[in-house]
A = this chain, B = another copy of it.
Amino acid sequence: MSSDNRLIYLPLGGAGEIGMNAYVYGYGPAGRERLILVDLGVTFPNMDGTPGVDLIFADIAWLEQRRDRLEAIFITHAHEDHVGALGHLWRRLKAPVYARAFTANHAARKMDEQGNDPEEVRVTGPWPHQVEAGPFKVGFLPVSHSIPESSSMVIDSPAGRIVHTGDFKLDVTPVLGEPFDRALWAEVAAPGVKVLTCDSTNVFSPQPGRSEATVGPAITQLVQRAEAMVVATTFASNIARVKTLAEAGHAAGRSVCLLGRAMRRMIEAGVESGILTDFPTTVPPEEAAEIPREHLMLIVTGSQGERRAASGQLSRGRYMGLELKAGDLFLFSSKTIPGNEREVLRVVNALSEIGVDVVDDAADLYHVSGHANRPDLSEVHRLINPEVVVPMHGEHRHLREHVKLAAENALPAVLAPNGSMVELSHTPPRVVDVIEAGRTYLDGAVQIGALDGVVRDRMRMALNGHAMVTLILDEEGEPLGEPWVELMGLPETGRSNAALAEVLEADLDQFMRRAEDKTLADDDKLEDALRRIVRQGAQNEIGKKPEVTVVISRLSA
């Protein structure tokens, strides 16, 4: 390798959260590296911090400005937090996209939905096949996870080999798709690996991970013992689990019906891409409605309590002609992602009100994680034996813990949160630059910056309510009538028991009568004064200061 060239790593997303994966690698002279991007995912908004937002992407401004240097985009697997932003951001990057068949099926649909050419997604075979991308040769190394055809990236550069795990677990009996192939991984490791960029999601889970195959018997037993209708939910993309659930239903002599668009689409994609060859027969909802409930099993979307998913709909009443009743069984074959507890419990309590028995994974019987636990991570550290570990896909606490784990395994590691550009070809690797690694919100049809203030204003209105003041001034700058106050999200009356709007209008009117001409002549001063009066008046009446919008209309002669 020429001493002018360097190998860099720059996470734009995923190294600071679980989700929103977007990792840049580069090779070449400093500032002129040729680049590749691994994954382009989303994270999901919530009412706490991102009300009204539809999706959250990594801010790709840095990469967009350098897109002439971007050779290719690689997608490790079809989860939304790895591929969900592709359709929305591709036109800003315009590089060819590589993925294996099942993943490519999803990626192409996402491109198409957002008006991009799905042909930009190229289907790629697994390792040892390699894609040439500038100075890089990139292979898709099969690995087990919770969605078919997950792959680790084997990224060969003139500075050495990188293994970028993507999401993974060590499952030799994954029910569907390729088992973890230790021999193949050893073969990849054999020539020596410079960098292991490694999933950190489950670094805090102390036990070895369990295989997908372990949940089948428990689920089958549960379904067999059920006396009325059985409804099970899981992550739509976990096709292996959906298959296990369906097989449990069949084994119990039940007809199986899939509810929820995302789940049906995943199963279709599985069939189309040739991965899913022996999925049990299902019945459509209209047919299911005619089947006695003790002979029926529904497999539904909404494991995270999403209001509009099938589970949420069923918890509130009839859906697609189907209805839950007392004595039915509802199985969460899933875990609740931190932050979704309220939504999930809302569904559970609604089911309880109907009299439905809810079974979740509290007893560790009906769900296994798709990520490598702490001992599994150590096993991969040993197997790959890299020069350095770069923890990725985790909140800061996960990355930091993974650095500690690497130290336990006598491996150096670099803590590189989003925006840290690491020079991997330096010994030891060092952070050479820190770029602004923000977030982009998809808000309706518009992409807005997280710091644009739009969401901040929404949260302020939600917390404080909104008062609108309108004032008309005539041609001479004299008030025409009295200021008018409209309120939204504020109590109608306060301490004085008079209408709040009227109290505020009286305050404003009193001010206007005494205001000096130079105040009236200056829109900014007048606006400030009116805002202050409304905020103080509201504080007196209702004990809180609302957001205030002032509209001053000056009539022209």
Contact = CB atoms under 8 A, between A and B. Distances in A.
Interface string A531-557: 000000000011110010101010110
Contacts of A549: 468, 486, 488
A428 interface: no
Contact of A443 (B468, B481, B491, B495): B491
Nearest to A350: B396
A439 to B, nearest CB: 15
A31 interface: no
A406 to B, nearest CB: 16
Contact of A352 (B348, B400, B446, B466): B400
Contacts of A490: 454
A413 to B, nearest CB: 14
Contacts of A358: 397
A221 interface: no
A514 B543 CA distance: 45
Interface stretch (A140-148, A167-175, A336-344): A336-344
Contacts of A491: 443-444, 446, 448, 452, 454
Interface string A493-525: 111000000000000000000000000000000
A369 interface: no
A489 interface: yes
Interface string A463-485: 11110101010000000110010
Contacts of A462: 47, 51-52, 458-459, 461-462
Contacts of A396: 349, 352-353
A3 to B, nearest CB: 33
A408 interface: no
Given A52-B463, A396-B353, A553-B481, A489 B457 contact: yes
A486 to B, nearest CB: 5
Contacts of A365: none
A395 interface: yes
Interface in A20-62: 46-49, 51-52
A193 B481 CA distance: 71
A445 B341 contact: no
Contacts of A555: 472, 480-481
A355 B335 CA distance: 29
A104 interface: no
Contacts of A484: 551, 553
B47 A494 contact: no
A362 interface: yes
B342 A339 contact: yes
Interface in A389-435: 395-397, 399-400, 417
Nearest to A495: B445
B488 A457 contact: yes
A200 to B, nearest CB: 12
23 contacts: A51-B459, A51-B462, A52-B463, A338-B341, A339-B342, A341-B341, A352-B395, A358-B397, A443-B491, A443-B543, A444-B491, A444-B542, A445-B494, A457-B465, A457-B488, A458-B461, A458-B462, A462-B462, A468-B486, A470-B470, A480-B555, A486-B551, A553-B553
Which 3 A-B pairs have CB atoms at the shortest separation, nearest pair first? A445-B543, A444-B543, A444-B544
Interface of A: 46-49, 51-52, 204, 338-339, 341-342, 345, 348-349, 351-353, 355, 358, 362, 395-397, 399-400, 417, 443-446, 448, 452, 454-455, 457-459, 461-466, 468, 470, 472, 480-481, 484, 486, 488-495, 541-544, 547, 549, 551, 553, 555-556
